[in-house]
Amino acid sequence: MWWSPVAVVLLMLGTGLVFVVRRDALAKAYAHRVNSLPTEHPQYRTTPFATARLFVVVGVVSVVGGIGAILLGLVTP
């Protein structure tokens, strides 16, 4: 079953590219969905956890992992 590693690598590359290209939209969507705590709450934060920078880091790691898997020959039957 050679196609399952290929599917995983393509999923990694595709997800990584989406995260890198659409990082601002993803960060805005995340910030919109999260219920913010009241300002007097001890765990209140002014910026959400998942910022555009986090999406870039996850995207780059995914793309590099996918390319690394291809270069290491994990996709070949």
Average pLDDT value for residue range 49-73 = 84
User: Does the pTM exceed 0.75?
Assistant: no
Model confidence at 24: pLDDT above 80: yes
pLDDT > 90: percent of the chain:
0
Please state, in angstroms and rounded to a whole number, the distance separating the CA atoms of residues 56 and 46: 20
Please state, in angstroms and rounded to a whole number, the distance separating the CA atoms of residues 25 and 59: 14
Q: What's the pLDDT score for residue 46? A: 72
Q: What's the pLDDT score for residue 38? A: 77
Please state, in angstroms and rounded to a whole number, the distance separating the CA atoms of residues 69 and 77: 13
* Nearest to 9, CA basis, from 68, 59, 61: 68
Model confidence at 77: pLDDT above 60: no
